Structure 1
């Protein structure tokens, strides 16, 4: 008699998430150890959003403000990307590492014998327009590969210095071999490189042991939500956290068009306006919520830069 073969219990079908068109900006407080893209994908999943993007990468070893754009708001993510940033950086004085941060191997350890005047003078040296050499352990691309890929293979490639601006450096705390500073800087600034340069100027060396982004333009981490907080909310409460699509442009001049002009503007046609020239304006239809897109004004003409689709505009109104 043939022995019966036990049948495997069939797995229940995997439930697919029904994605939906969602428009707006979410301020996320990125946790330590998570890449910016992983944080984005988790938030996108929690909101069931069809389309999303972030506005500038934060290293996995950094925490803090990561503005996320959903739907139509992704068209304006460059605004936040171009904005000045603020960081709280913790420097480990007297120790240099292979990567310039706490992830690397110790290269050199030196005694730290400093006073407040020396630290203030070193920070002042790097305030204003400065030149930075991008670190090998960075995501900057060279021939299609990130520099950190070359670094991990033990290859150092030539890099061109870049010009950045350090608007201010404030000393928040200093105890023995630990220095905490607040930095406001232009986009593209490497805080890890700044930490190494300050350490070199002090004569003892340093590496970046912790980093938190506290601001991006007018956006502040105090207004951000963590992934844990987002996950604890129901769907309606999560959606309520989204700022309007035009929120990243809130400090730009506002231009309102009548209905017939708004329709023509949405097709990309230039419109005559009795307004002063402006490099960037936000444009609306006759309804206050009818955000149409961004534009600039030159010689009395309103010229579209980034436009929403009619479907997106209708979604914002309804």
Structure 2
């Protein structure tokens, strides 16, 4: 039996994200993918997609992330001074990927939505960072040390949230293995989140059964098939769902939601990834 859904794994330190996802796929005998690569020595939330849920990857890769990081200062600095330096990194920041990174070391801009000092003991500083996907926390820790004028380096990092998924909702590799060895399919299924759980933060277009069938065949969604929708703008990612809340497809909006009336003619969105077969769309 193969599985489809999203599995939140508490990645341990040591293996790469690819290795962890591959182990899950081997245990559950399903095709897998993951979003938001974590370095081998970083732990925390790793979103693993199974079966058709792998098609969610482009969306999940854009999720905001939250991390708790421990950095070591290279000199003694008063806590008040560290707090003031940390606050300076809220907003748009320039970053260059660390030398150990696998991507090209080009200068990039990332947004840090929130950063706070959680604790400080001697030269060890614990911070929590809520940031845009693709932010390099290792580089951030180095830059904090430069602002302080003493230098610093990251010594520990844990991802505590990816989009709406929290570390409290994750499962360890041991828990997954135990369920597999017991042959407990109910336990495994209870760990899986349906694809609908991953699209909570993007606009929904609720469609009629006939439109769901047409979209599942690859047709462009027209307004006559739309029952209701959330606000969206042209070019934005949208989720096409059935009246029962089943994810039919991810798509791209072809016009602003304010510029069409549900039930009237005119193209609304084109599908980019379909999640149900035509037979399932008719159920």
Q: TM (normalized to structure 2)?
A: 0.85
Q: 2:100 aligns with which of 137, 140, 150?
A: 137
1:26 match? 7
**SS at 2:22's partner residue?**
helix
For 1:138 and 1:313, the matched residues in 2 are separated by 44
**SS at 1:33's partner residue?**
coil
**SS at 1:208's partner residue?**
strand
1:203 shift after superposition:
1.9
2:127 match? 181
Write out aligned runs for 1:60-71 (5 A): 60-71=40-51
Aligned residue pairs: how many?
Answer: 262
1:204 shift after superposition:
1.8
2:16 match? 35
Q: TM (normalized to structure 1)?
A: 0.76
| Uncovered stretches (5+) of structure 2, i.e. residues with no partner | 261-266
**Larger of the two Rg values belongs to structure:** 1
Change (3 A) 1:45 1:304: same
Q: 1:284 aligns with which of 215, 222, 241?
A: 241
For 2:172 and 2:50, the matched residues in 1 are separated by 17
1:118 match? 81
For 1:133 and 1:253, the matched residues in 2 are separated by 33
Write out aligned runs for 1:198-237 (5 A): 198-233=144-179, 234=182, 235-236=184-185, 237=187
Q: State whether structure 2 residue 269 is matched by structure 1 residue 308.
A: no
**SS at 2:87's partner residue?**
helix
1:313 shift after superposition:
6.9
For 1:131 and 1:43, the matched residues in 2 are separated by 35
Higher relative contact order at CA 8 Å, sep ≥6: structure 1 or structure 2? 1
**SS at 2:171's partner residue?**
coil
1:163 match? 109
1:317 shift after superposition:
9.1
Contact 1:277 1:296 in 2 (8 A): no
- Select between 260-269 and 182-191 the one with higher mean Cα deviation: 260-269
1:162 shift after superposition:
0.5
For 1:289 and 1:181, the matched residues in 2 are separated by 38
- Select between 268-277 and 189-198 the one with higher mean Cα deviation: 268-277
1:284 shift after superposition:
2.5
Q: 2:209 aligns with which of 255, 259, 265?
A: 259
Change (3 A) 1:52 1:271: same
Q: State whether structure 2 residue 251 is matched by structure 1 residue 295.
A: yes
2:70 match? 90
Change (3 A) 1:134 1:114: same
Contact 1:85 1:186 in 2 (8 A): yes
For 1:27 and 1:270, the matched residues in 2 are separated by 33
1:182 shift after superposition:
0.2
Q: 1:55 aligns with which of 35, 50, 53?
A: 35
Change (3 A) 1:312 1:76: farther
1:289 shift after superposition:
5.6
